[in-house]
């Protein structure tokens, strides 16, 4: 009888004491354990977000229009040669701006005028056609691809004095190309591969009404517009590669900038 009573007492004590398995670290007894998942690769667990919450969404990349114009001067064809490639890469392209010049390897239009001095006038059909096209394809940034027949090193001419993009492009490509240390254009001398006329110089060009496509784009659409120059004496493949490198580098830098602006950074 004593043995039976002892067995019954032990059973009652065990039932009242509960489980001896310790509660999960960080959880109080009686509370549900935190939900876990795994990373899908290593199987390592991670805490799932509380119910009713969502992961922060990435701000979508802004839709911007980077325009590239080619073949303004018919004896500077390398930019036009990569037009199709640039279109494939997502640039908005135009060219050749001077078809007769390209066909005849001639800098000028058939009537002998320089197309890149006609954008301040209204009596040049070729320039008017390009203006109309630009109005239909409003640029947020423009690159006009050229060659310098007398140049010995590449350089950029930037219309838009309050932007650092030209300098950033040159700096990004310094390891690949030796840029002109003191490029010159009209009354302006640049530095380390970049010509960037000040606003007073740009205003003088407007008064004279003798200016080119890139200047017109900057003044009309309030966008930075860069003339891309390389030596005409370079092998054609090197000229093409340089133009492509400038365009793709500009695209990368601009998209990074615009993404940060969209995110408010």
Residue 50 has pLDDT above 80, yes or no: no
Q: Beta partners for 229?
A: 155
**Can you give the pLDDT at residue 56?**
55
Contact 137, 92 (CB under 8 A): yes
Of 34, 38, 39, the closest CA to residue 51 belongs to: 34
CA distance 248 to 254: 10
Contact 61, 55 (CB under 8 A): no
Of 55, 56, 38, the closest CA to residue 47 belongs to: 38
173-198: pLDDT as tens digits = 999 999 999 999 888 999 999 999 99
CA distance 157 to 228: 7
Across the range 24-50, mean pLDDT stands at 44
Structural tokens at position 196: 């960037």
- pTM for the model stands at 0.78
**Can you give the pLDDT at residue 206?**
85
What domains are defined for the chain? Answer: 66-262 (3.40.630.10)
How many other CB atoms sit within 10 Å of the CB of residue 168? 17
At 6, the pLDDT band (50, 70, 90 cuts) reads very low
**Can you give the pLDDT at residue 204?**
86
Across the range 14-37, mean pLDDT stands at 42
User: What is the average pLDDT score of the chain?
Assistant: 85
């Amino acid at each position: 009888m004593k043995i039976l009573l002892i067995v019954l007492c032990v059973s009652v004590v065990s039932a009242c004491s509960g489980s001896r398995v310790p509660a999960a670290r960080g959880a109080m007894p009686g509370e549900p354990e935190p939900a876990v998942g795994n990373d899908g690769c290593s199987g390592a667990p991670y805490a799932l977000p509380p119910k009713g919450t969502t992961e922060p969404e990435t701000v979508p990349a802004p839709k911007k229009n980077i325009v590239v114009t080619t073949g303004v001067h018919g004896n500077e064809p390398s930019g036009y040669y990569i037009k199709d490639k640039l279109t494939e890469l997502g640039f908005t392209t135009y060219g050749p701006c001077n078809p007769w010049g390209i066909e005849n390897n001639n800098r000028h239009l058939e009537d002998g005028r320089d197309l890149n001095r006609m954008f301040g006038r209204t009596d040049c059909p070729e320039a008017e056609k390009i203006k109309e096209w630009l109005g239909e394809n409003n640029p947020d940034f423009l690159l006009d691809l050229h060659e310098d027949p007398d140049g010995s090193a590449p350089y950029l001419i930037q219309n838009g004095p309050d932007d650092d993009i030209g300098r950033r492009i040159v700096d990004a490509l310094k390891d690949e190309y030796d840029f002109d240390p003191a490029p010159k254009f009209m009354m302006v001398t640049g530095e380390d591969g970049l010509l960037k006329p000040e606003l007073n110089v740009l205003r003088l060009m407007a008064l004279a009404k003798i200016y080119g496509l890139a200047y017109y784009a900057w003044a009309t659409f309030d966008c930075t517009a860069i003339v891309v120059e390389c030596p005409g004496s370079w092998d054609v493949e090197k000229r093409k590669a340089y133009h492509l490198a400038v365009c793709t580098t500009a695209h990368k830098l601009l998209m990074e900038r615009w993404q940060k602006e969209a995110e408010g950074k």
